[in-house]
Structure 1
Amino acid sequence: MDDDSPQARWERRTEIPLGLASLLFLSLYATLVLAHGLAEEWKNACRAALLATWALFAVDYAVRWRLSGQRLRFVRTHWLDTLVLALPLLRPLRIVKVYDAVQHRHGQPRFSLHARVITYATLSVTLLGFAGALAVYQAEHAAPNATILTFGDSVWWACSTLATVGYGDVTPVTPWGRVIAVGLMACGLALLGAVTGSFSSWLLQVFAREGDERPPGA
């Protein structure tokens, strides 16, 4: 039976709008970082819209905290939401939760656990990679002795970092760029472990099922 608490009802009503707001946030941030020739009035409009999306997430967090009645325990049990509120570039990760909300509303069968893990990991890698590439490009491209000079360089660096390959042909030289690098490396390791573990578990289940279906003595 679905949870019908006030907090659960609020989350069901707001999940998709907040997911769309996350995409809007990422689009506005990308515009500010990449559109170098954008007029100042348009830049100011983008900044105002970014602030408005942050306010939406702050209101949502405050409402769910109030409805939960958990006080400080809410921060520990909803650590991703707390992190998303503190670090705006992680807000697009909320998109990962939209899939379940859409499936639930339409009553469609959901993926298996293994497929969901792989789907969520793929979405997370894509969103983290793009957001990380934007952030490191903003921090690095104008820095002295920078090797990440174009957004293409930044995307290549983000891909190699998330894949834990780290070719070293382009590297961040600023403190903020290195902080982003550490975060991406940690996320890459975690997501790689989740996908590898889920895939291995699926293979074991397939082999076990085949063994159960094999006739005795075969």
Structure 2
Amino acid sequence: MTDDSRQARWEKRTEAPLAVASLLYLTSYAVQVLAAGLPAAWHGICLAVLFAAWAAFAVDYAVRWRLSGQGPRFVRTHWLDTLVLVLPLLRPLRVVHIYEAVQRRHDRPRLALHARVVAYAGLSALLLGFAGALAVYQHEHAAKGATIRTFGDAVWWASATLATVGYGDVTPVTPLGRLIAVGLMLGGLALLGAVTGSFSSWLLQVFAREDDERPPGR
């Protein structure tokens, strides 16, 4: 059995468990950030879930590195997986892989490519925005001179940042909060570019099909 087939089988078997771990990670983090006065026992449970989820992703990364046979080159060719491992709040984006699996039957997507791009971008924006709002709220609401004081402020700010609007009514003031803002800006630009490019491609295909169906001489 080749390394490629072994790696494919491993990824297929771990896809669903890792997606569940991603959602558990995000849920536990959200409970810690939003649940004020959390009892010590629940705080410990949330921490245990966070570390267990991180360990699951670390094991998956190590196994896929080993099965790839690429050595150190694996880090460069799989830079997104590496980034997801280093930045825990990006891990919930892996749930998109489950959506991809559901949309496929006999290796054929149930949705057209353009619809899939829009669906994946929307789901990614929702997860990324929620995770970014949690992170910026955690680091900003108690900071001196902070304008993001409630989770509602954080959600509004994350939505404006992902949409690349940037109203400026609420802004992060801490270095870590601004770093999170840069990440959301880049993510928003990437998602907006994917949706815009897919929509433009779909329009071109529609116009080309209409030209092909038009009778000669008209």
Q: Indicate whether 1:126 and 2:126 are aligned.
A: yes
Q: What residue in structure 2 maps to residue 184 of structure 1?
A: 184
Report if aligned partners of 1:16, 1:101 keep a CA contact under 8 Å in 2: no
Report if aligned partners of 2:18, 2:57 keep a CA contact under 8 Å in 1: yes
1:8, 1:78 → 2: CA distance?
Answer: 15
Shift of 1:105: 6.5
Alpha carbons of structure 1 residues 169 and 113: separation in structure 2 relative to 1, 3 Å: same
Q: Please give the residue correspondences for 1:18-167 in structure 2 after superposition, counting only pairs within 5 Å.
A: 18-104=18-104, 109-167=109-167
3-state secondary structure, aligned to 2:61: helix
Shift of 1:4: 6.8
The AA in structure 2 aligned to 1:170 is: V
Could you state the TM-score of these two structures normalised by the residue count of structure 1?
0.95
Report if aligned partners of 2:136, 2:172 keep a CA contact under 8 Å in 1: yes
The AA in structure 2 aligned to 1:200 is: S
2:96, 2:14 → 1: CA distance?
Answer: 14
3-state secondary structure, aligned to 1:132: helix
Q: What residue in structure 2 maps to residue 196 of structure 1?
A: 196
The AA in structure 1 aligned to 2:194 is: A
- Which runs of structure 1 show a deviation greater than 2 angstroms over 4 or more consecutive aligned residues? 100-110
Shift of 1:39: 0.5
Could you state the TM-score of these two structures normalised by the residue count of structure 2?
0.95
1:193, 1:108 → 2: CA distance?
Answer: 25
Alpha carbons of structure 1 residues 64 and 76: separation in structure 2 relative to 1, 3 Å: same
1:71, 1:93 → 2: CA distance?
Answer: 25
The AA in structure 2 aligned to 1:9 is: R
1:154, 1:106 → 2: CA distance?
Answer: 42
3-state secondary structure, aligned to 1:168: coil
1:185, 1:109 → 2: CA distance?
Answer: 30
1:213, 1:158 → 2: CA distance?
Answer: 45
Q: Indicate whether 1:10 and 2:10 are aligned.
A: yes
Report if aligned partners of 1:68, 1:74 keep a CA contact under 8 Å in 2: yes
Deviations 1:55-80 (A, max 9, x none): 00000111111111111121122111
Question: Could you tell which deviates more after superposition, 113-122 or 123-132?
Answer: 113-122
Report if aligned partners of 2:57, 2:85 keep a CA contact under 8 Å in 1: yes
2:6, 2:107 → 1: CA distance?
Answer: 21
Deviations 1:125-163 (A, max 9, x none): 001100000000000000111100000000000000011
The AA in structure 1 aligned to 2:48 is: A
The count of residues paired between Structure 1 and Structure 2 equals 216
2:80, 2:120 → 1: CA distance?
Answer: 14
Deviations 1:164-186 (A, max 9, x none): 11111100011100000011011
1:49, 1:134 → 2: CA distance?
Answer: 17
3-state secondary structure, aligned to 1:5: helix
Shift of 1:217: 1.8
Shift of 1:113: 1.6
